């Protein structure tokens, strides 16, 4: 039963993302729509953002919530840097107890960072903060990892196809295949 619940939750967010990304006309619009859909998927997600990897820096593509001062994060800094370097999801129950933490808002108590990886290459990451301690568990990790696959596919597409982006994504999907 619990597994079914987890699968449904991840599936719902992934479906929502596919829907909103399909008609995005630019990478910027796609990042904005994706961040909004992620933030809206859970009332405990108080700040959500997507960072894209440029060289050895994570660059904020879009955020929803109180603006963060950390618009560019070096890979050797922060929880964000650690997740990208290690290529794995990091959940921090109490950000103030983690020496890696780069403070964004004083209200933030917990954080999850999920890398977006495609063909072994890290493209960036999804970062979410909550004002509630220990707001994230493995079900958030599973749902957001599924979401990260959808966003990664969009980013790969948008790298070489900007006009008609949605159509290009649609063409790549064969009928009946729920990617």
φ, ψ for residue 2, nearest 5 deg: -65, -40
Residue 130 within binding range of ligand SME, rule CB under 6 A? no
Closer Cβ to ligand SME, 35 or 79, answer by number: 79
End-to-end CA distance of the chain: 24
Residue 78 within binding range of ligand SME, rule CB under 6 A? yes
Closer Cβ to ligand SME, 37 or 79, answer by number: 79
Residue 89 within binding range of ligand SME, rule CB under 6 A? no
Residue nearest to ligand SME (CB): 78
Q: How many residues bind ligand SME (CB under 6 A)?
A: 13
Residue 146 within binding range of ligand SME, rule CB under 6 A? no
**Burial class for 123, CB neighbours closer than 10 Å (0-12, 13-18, 19+):** buried
Binding residues for ligand SME restricted to 38-57, rule: CB under 6 A: 49
The position carrying tokens 């933490």 is 101
Q: How many degrees, rounded to 5, is the angle at CA 38 between CA 36 and CA 44?
A: 105
57-64, strands of its sheet edge to edge: 72-74, 57-64, 47-54, 121-130, 110-118, 90-92
Tell me the β-bridge partners of 72.
59
Residue 101 within binding range of ligand SME, rule CB under 6 A? yes
Q: Which of 61, 79, 90, 169 binds ligand SME (CB under 6 A)?
A: 79
Residue 144 within binding range of ligand SME, rule CB under 6 A? no
47 and 66 in contact (C-beta within 8 Å)? yes
Residue 156 within binding range of ligand SME, rule CB under 6 A? no
Distance CA 66, CA 74 (A): 21
Residue 102 within binding range of ligand SME, rule CB under 6 A? yes
Residue 70 within binding range of ligand SME, rule CB under 6 A? yes
Residue 13 within binding range of ligand SME, rule CB under 6 A? no
Residues that bind ligand SME (CB under 6 A): 49, 68, 70, 73, 78-80, 101-102, 104, 111, 127, 129
């Amino acid at each position: 039963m619990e597994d079914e619940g987890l699968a449904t939750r991840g599936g719902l967010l992934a479906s929502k993302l596919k829907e909103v990304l399909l008609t995005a006309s630019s990478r910027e619009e796609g990042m904005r729509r994706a961040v909004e859909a992620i933030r809206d998927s859970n009332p405990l997600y108080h700040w959500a953002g997507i960072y894209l990897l440029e060289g050895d820096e994570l660059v904020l593509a879009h955020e929803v919530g109180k603006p963060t001062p950390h618009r560019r994060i070096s890979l050797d800094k922060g929880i964000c840097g650690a997740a990208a370097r290690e290529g794995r999801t990091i959940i921090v129950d109490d950000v103030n107890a983690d020496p890696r933490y780069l403070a964004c808002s004083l209200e933030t108590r917990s954080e999850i960072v999920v890398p977006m990886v495609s063909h072994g290459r890290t493209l960036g990451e999804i970062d979410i903060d909550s004002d509630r301690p220990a707001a994230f568990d493995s079900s958030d990790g599973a749902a957001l990892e599924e979401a990260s696959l959808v966003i990664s596919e969009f980013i790969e597409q948008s790298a070489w196809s900007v006009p008609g982006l949605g159509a290009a994504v649609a063409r790549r999907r064969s009928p009946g295949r729920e990617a």
